[in-house]
Chain A
Amino acid sequence: MNLPLTIKETQEGLKSKKFSAVELVDTYLEKIKKYNDEYKIFLTINEEGAYKKAKEIDNSDFTLPLFGVVGSYKDIFLTKGIRTTAGSKILENFIPPYSATIVKKLENAGVISIGKLNCDAFAHGSSGENSDFGTTLNPWNKEYTAGGSSSGSGAALSSGMSLISIGTDTCGSIRLPANYGYLFSLKPTYGAVSRYGVIAMASSLDTVGPLAHTVSDVETVFNVIKGKDYLDATVTEKSINNKNSKFKIGIPKEFFVGGLSKEIEKNIGEVIKIYKNENVEFIDVSLPSTKYGISVYYIIQPAEVSSNLSRFDGIRYGGLRDSFGEEAKRRIMLGSYVLSAGFYDAYYEKAMKVRTIIKNEVDSIFTKVDALIAPVAPTPAFKLGEKTNDPLSMYLTDIYAATANLSGIPAIAIPSGFSDKKLPLGFQLMAPRFGEDILFKLGKIFELATDYKPKVAF
């Protein structure tokens, strides 16, 4: 059978008995078994659980919002009874006694959980190369990175191994793999989706969001996973009701200078033209402090990482601390340093002040525009191995991502074409906190205007 690439197609097929949920699972598993050894997309396959759920779906009345949707999770989401590694050897044999809130919500909504996805160990990375279980290859071209840290979350979709996937975004980790995989993805507002049961990277920056082949699929999944669970105290329930029929998008000049590849600059130029044809207005804006974003991020994030990783002491579960990878060790050291007595004020405290400035700048821009447009990354997917010996240049991959995480605003990654080397291209839109609805509307305008069709690499 031909795999459906949208929730609508899937559910219509199930309703009309074109295929059963069990047959869907057969097809996905077939693909996983065929390619996974080479592409290293799944770390654990939930064959038994998937079939059990599929049978339930086949016997159901097809009323759940996500019935029959085959989904997979970055291996940073705890799944009760199913191994959860965070991509690290430390948790190689960790079987969680409970499931993350989003896993429960999705399964209750009818999702068939097919497995756990590869990622950079503890989500530290932009290329998937920091996984202790091998690097995920990009299905569009296996010499290239699939993007990180949710490397499997992007590749699972662009290879047709799963219909939707969930990733985490601390500084671009959902948007980058979507961008390198010709996919849509949402990095929600900080506090819109529960982080309960998500192995923490940096608590004040971590967000949980979906990847899918269309805007409305991203939206549907987001609507299921958002909201309070009374387990994550940072979750709030708000939404901006934007009744605009005409949108105004800001082009922050700081995002279109320096290291941005010509190919991406040109592509986004075309995107802007398409939007303008759809009666969307663009104005130039400035976010002068965003240039400090990466510096601020690389103080706050390692500080929180060093704290969050201290529970992995090898006493109650997991391996010993010497099985942390190089990147985790680097961040633990950096983080411990910036938090230590005598340095706290100079680094952490100062970084938090700049973070507030960035946040204020972003907030004030949104009094003038509905959204901001920016690249997702400075270049299309880069070659595996290209940056592994240069952590700093790897960090700079996240230069356009940091603003949304530091200020807690939502961002959507949208596919917008292919490069000369046939690698996916894309852009991101950002909106005010809890302004996801604006992003969905703008995403749909783009889909319609370009007659977008979902694509998989194979």
Chain B
Amino acid sequence: MNAYRIKGKGRVDQRKPVRFSFNGTAYTGYEGDTLASALLANGVHLVGRSFKYHRPRGILSAGSEEPNALVGTDRGNGRFEPNTRATVLEVFEGLNTTSQNHWPSLKRDVGAINDALYMLFSAGFYYKTFMWPKSFWNKVYEPFIRGAAGLGKSPTVPDPDTYASRFAHCDVLVVGAGPAGLAAALEAGRSGAKVMLCDEQAELGGSLLSETNARIDGASGWDWLKAAAAELAALPNVTVLTRATAIGYYHQNLLGLCQRLTDHLASPPEGAPRERLWKVRAKQVVLAQGAIEKPLVFDGNDRPGVMLAGAARSYLNRYGVKVGNRPVVVTSHDSAWLAAYDLAEAGAKVAAIVDVRPEVAGHLKQRAAALGIEMLTGWTATGTSGRLRVASVRVNPISRNGVFGPARTIACDALLMSGGWTPSVHLFSHTKGKLDWNEEGQMFLPGERTEESRCAGAGNGSFGLAAALAEGAEAGADAAVDAGFKAKAATYKVDGEVPLMGVSSRELTTDRNASKAKAFVDFQNDVTAKDIRLAVREGFKSIEHIKRYTTNGMATDQGKTSNINGLVIASDAVRRPAPAVGLTTFRPPYTPTTFGAFAGYNRSELFEVTRKTPIDVWAEENGAVFEPVSLWRRAWYFPKPGEDMHAAVTRECKTVRETLGMFDASTLGKIEIVGPDAAEFLNRMYTNAWSKLGVGRCRYGVLLGEDGFIRDDGVIGRITSDRFHVTTTTGGAARVLAMMEDYLQTEWPDLKVWLTSITEQWAVIALQGPNARKLFEPLVEGIDLSEEGFPHMSVAEGRIYGVPTRLFRMSFTGERGYEINVPARYGRAVWEKLFEAGQQFGITPYGTETMHVLRAEKGYIIVGQDTDGTLTPEDAGLGWAIGKSKPDFVGKRSLSRPDMLKADRKQLVGLLTSDPNTVLEAGAQIVLDPNQTLPMKMVGHVTSSYWSGTLGRSIALAVVEGGRAREGATIHVPMPGRTHTARIVGTVFYDPENKRLSA
């Protein structure tokens, strides 16, 4: 158990074992382990297969940059996540994990044949390989690509977790809690500024957690870290967020932080969110993201057991895990030598340090010699062996003029590599900050900034602990000063640190056939140096194109370990300097982020606002089926036991026509328009004339856009001379009010009139049917409901059941109708009372479907269903609603544009199908000649179509080119299965004389 763990070493709690499983095998780790460190402690390096070639892969890194070690994690109760990086996943009791991209097992994988078909999958394979023959697409290529594409498996059940969200505002936000970030946060915190410090890891410290040599102000790095963390925790103005990754840096210093709240817990508390997305607006930002180590690119650099030297050092010093007993180091940078020393001191037999540089600093050699490590400077790695774990490395000396000496094979169980370090400029790059190429360091560094931000430490190219602390403190102090506080940077004394140098290189040269080398640049997308060179040979010169052609850097790790290697190789192949080849743009999120985090609270019932009327509860209790209408949910129909929708709607329609129905119309938009210029304002907005509308009367109004097309409609009542009650469509309420405000504020600010939304002030109950008046005449006080006193299209204020009401007489069914507005909180009670009282007339509640059928029988349009933003009032048969004598109204000028006067405009007509039982599909296209060649000329479409129980047949409304002139003609409606015929008729199917309105 934990054969590779060193007792007492590292920061994990070795008194607290944690049991977990990987591919069904039980293992033990310790609290504080990541899955990667716990597996390595158990000697497990093989953790997955690569995506394209299914090559066995191990753990490359010790951080969020990991391209290889992706696993599926099962946290129980349907909580499954693919592609979790083993290097950031904290182990907990009961964690189940599985490897990916293999079948039937990790150790024997059929797909690994892809590895042998290497030539087939080189650069651009997506674009080239599967082109020919065409007949292979459906049966061979596509299933194969689909099988191979993607990484892990998708979860099979909806995510059971919840997610949270929070806004924050601060003076200084520090991203990254390594030495630079800590120093910055301390300085800013001491100034009294409101500070937030975030780090993606579970504990603060960054590179300090893996550093055991250096001392700060006389204390060990870890003691200093402890003191710094304690000081920050004690400052009330400082908020520290761990497990919080800064995923994106947006305009005006807005950063998104994704905080993992419960993923590390064996049993999260009930109702605890899994993650929280912080949206932080900071006056000043300090970016201390650190640096990422570069792999070396050579044949076989991807075998399990080959890892970054800095990662090996982290596993040793932070987790107490030796990654091997017989490691070899291959490097072009001094920092890898430290890994060799630390491992040797921990008891590993370091077989050799292979450094491609002919010369290295004397002090490095002295220490290696003292530890008995063989040094091969001026040597290079040219291959590795070992199927499921690296077993040896092949190395050659190279003379100063580039001549290869004979190869040597060194046995090893781990191969630690370093090609130097790349500053993490991702967040700075999100801001479109300029990046400057540093030729000496072969790296991009933050240049001119676009936001109030500063970069510090390794992320700014200032490597080493002393530099990080100094630059961090300075950045923190400066940020605090710029945010309006007084601060001065502290100085730190660092001992035990040696300067670390290195060279950066393209792929390592080899004495073998380079075209056969599997020297990986992008481990996750299986892109090799050869692929990049091939792309250049095929004519790609810009890194943006090379990236897309080879897929280098396009995997879920966004090329954190591969971008610079890819660029340097491409620039070598193109024979142009790296900055001329370019750097691909980094985009948020910095690391893969769950959709849940972005959705936050907005899922399930909180996905969107679901607006419900005051009567909705009654409808639900009485078995209504609902449909969404804009944000509202509305009662669609009220089925009785045994009824389907058709039966229910037919019954509801019949009851309304024969006796009485009630309908919840509360969702209709309502606007109260008040002021001496109210009528004039309506004159200018609506097509109709309003000045002469009497108090107590109402009128149907049509609203156009300035382009002359119908935008909305509704009934408008005049309550007093200066007060109008305007109704709009349900979906148009907000839009209409905004349009009115626009004209009022910006075109006619001189008008004395004010608009107030009263949609939700009033609950609206429509009573429709021949018995409507009989039902509520006895219930209403203060309004003369007689035919003369309250004719069709009247409005009055009074009381019903003692509650104030605005009563409209209007009809959207063709029957005698009233709309009773009562203050919303009384809506349900009045509805219930009316329903009770209506029993004597056999009253039925009805929903939106019956409302639609009844209005279609009368040819009343629904804006947005029968109109689509291209219909003028004339097209819709509403020419009568245009106040012809008005000098102007919104949209009037457009109605005389030549296009608006054409005879072949689409016009609203009625349709009667030849077979009365055929109900056309709404949206079906209309043609004049069903035998014409394809593509047919479509002359219109069906806008509304229903079964009319009243008429005992189907009816439809449609728009047809020159439709009104074609009345009586037969048209054809191709639908799946067959083509139907129908006759063009007028739009009013029922009671064209409107006798029933007063029946």
| Binding between chains A and B | no
**Chain B interface (Cβ within 8 Å of chain A)?**
none
**Chain A interface (Cβ within 8 Å of chain B)?**
none
